[in-house]
Structures are given as C-alpha cells and as structure tokens.
C-alpha cells in the first residue's frame, strides 16, 4: 500500500487493475465515424473493378476483377488453376512462376489487368496425366521433387529457360555475348536461381532439365 502527501491510498492490486483496463481500452474496435468499412480501400473509396480478357492454357478467358488482384490470385481464386502455388507472395521463391507471352514471370508480382490480350501458360497447360510434357516426365524420372510445392514453378521456369537458350538470350553468366549461350551447369544454376526448392532437390532438377536438353549435367 502506498501513501502520498495528500492522503491518497493506492494498493498494488488497484494499480494492476487500472493497467489492465487501459490495455483493454486500447484494443477495443473503433466504432462510429472512425470505423473502417471492409469494402473500402485505405483511401476511403470503394474498390474499382475492371474487365480483363486473356488466353489461359489455350482457352480465352474473361474476368471482372478488382484492379488490385494479382495474376496469381486471378489464376488461383477466379479460374481455380491451383497448380500455380502461392509461396512467399513477394517474388522471392518462384513457386508462382507462369509463362506469359513466352516469357516466365512471377505471377504474384503483376496485376491481372496488366495482361489484357496476353497468352498465359500454367502448369496445367503444359501437360496432362495422360500426356505429360517432356520436362514433367523428366522430373518424375529423376525424382526432381520431394514435397512438390515448388515443382509447378520449377517446371514452368525450366521450360522457359530452354526456350531462352534456344533463342540465344544471354544470362548474367554468359561469357561470350556474341555467341549463342550453351546449357552449362553455370547457366542452369544462374537461370534457375529464382526458383527455390526448400527440400533441396536441386541436383535432381538439374539432371531433369539436362536430360530434356540432351546435355550432360
């Protein structure tokens, strides 16, 4: 118990109660004029929807989406193509890799409405269980996966890597920029470095890609 010069008496229990009340008051949801409408953006305006039309795995698709919707969420949540995985959602793991107009991209880093008229290929569009893409067969043959979560992105990226090399597109480790790049281990490591495999199946992934390319890993 504490006494002060004015005769004010305050017990330790009362101090703790007062503190608890203060904390509780600080986390009570704001109501009235300050409440946030879940249907509004942080700026206070309603979200804006827009139509977007593109081709996905050879089929024309049209969506009416919030303009903030990423291509990844459009594929997964609107078109139900869940083969494309959401990993880090920051463009760091490569699990969401898809092929857009022949080039691989991280679909979590781009908005769906930016791809009006684009041709998009996801893992579902590369092959089927009855007719696998050569790289899909190679991943099975060389056991290029463990948990399998990153595998769709790995395969989409690998397909684009082989196309890049075939087209003569250099990478950061291409020694001779005047000649067509070759599929060397250094080239593969550099070009696939944006696709993370947390299970560590990298050596088998390299074997699978090299097998399809017809070179020795």
Domain spans of the chain?
47-125, 127-217
- The Cα 52–Cα 55 span in angstroms is 10
Two structure tokens written together for 194: 């944006």
| CATH number of the structural domain 127-217 | 1.10.150.120
For residue 178, the model assigns a pLDDT of: 87
- Answer whether residue 24 shows pLDDT above 90: no
**Quick check: helix, strand or coil at residue 49?**
strand
pLDDT cut 70: percent of the chain above it: 79
pLDDT digits (tens, 9 = 90+) for 107-155: 999 999 999 999 999 999 999 989 999 999 999 999 999 999 999 999 9
**Strand runs labelled E in the chain:** 2-3, 9-10, 49-56, 59-66, 97-100, 103-106, 119-121
Tell me the torsion sign for CA atoms 207, 209, 212, 213.
negative
Helices 202-213, 151-166: axis angle to 10 degrees equals: 40
pLDDT digits (tens, 9 = 90+) for 59-92: 999 999 999 999 999 999 999 999 999 999 999 9
Give the pairing type, strands 9-10 and 59-66: unpaired
pLDDT digits (tens, 9 = 90+) for 142-178: 999 999 999 999 999 999 999 999 999 999 999 898 8
For residue 40, the model assigns a pLDDT of: 60
For residue 56, the model assigns a pLDDT of: 98
**Residues 168-191: what's their mean pLDDT?**
92
For residue 214, the model assigns a pLDDT of: 87
Q: Are 61 and 55 in contact (CB under 8 A)?
A: yes
pLDDT digits (tens, 9 = 90+) for 25-58: 555 554 444 455 555 666 667 889 999 999 999 9
Mean pLDDT of the chain: 87
- The Cα 2–Cα 148 span in angstroms is 64
The residue written with tokens 């090299």 in the block is 210
Looking at domain 47-125, what is its CATH homologous superfamily?
Beta-grasp domain (3.10.20.30)
Name the residue among 52, 58, 90 with its Cα closest to residue 74: 52
For residue 78, the model assigns a pLDDT of: 98
For residue 13, the model assigns a pLDDT of: 67
Q: How many CA atoms lie within 13 A of 158 on its CB side?
A: 28
């Amino acid at each position: 118990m504490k006494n002060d010069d004015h005769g004010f008496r305050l017990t330790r229990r009362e101090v703790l109660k007062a503190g608890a009340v203060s904390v509780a008051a600080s986390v009570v949801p704001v109501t009235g004029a300050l409440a946030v409408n879940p249907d509004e953006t942080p700026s206070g305006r309603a979200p804006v929807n827009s139509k977007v039309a593109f081709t996905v795995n050879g089929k024309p698709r049209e969506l009416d989406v919030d303009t903030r919707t990423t291509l990844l969420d459009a594929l997964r949540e609107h078109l139900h193509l869940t083969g494309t995985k959401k990993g880090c959602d920051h463009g760091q793991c490569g699990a969401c890799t898809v092929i857009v107009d022949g080039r691989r991209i991280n679909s979590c880093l781009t908005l769906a409405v930016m791809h009006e008229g684009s041709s998009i290929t996801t893992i579902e569009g590369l092959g089927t269980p009855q007719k696998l893409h050569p790289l899909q067969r190679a991943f099975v043959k060389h056991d290029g996966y463990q948990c399998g979560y990153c595998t769709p992105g790995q395969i989409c990226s690998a397909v684009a890597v082989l196309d890049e090399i075939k087209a003569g597109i250099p990478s950061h480790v291409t020694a001779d920029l005047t000649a067509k790049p070759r599929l060397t281990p250094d080239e593969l490591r550099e070009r696939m470095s944006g696709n993370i495999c947390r299970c560590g199946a990298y050596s088998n992934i390299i074997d699978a890609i090299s097998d399809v390319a017809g070179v020795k890993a």
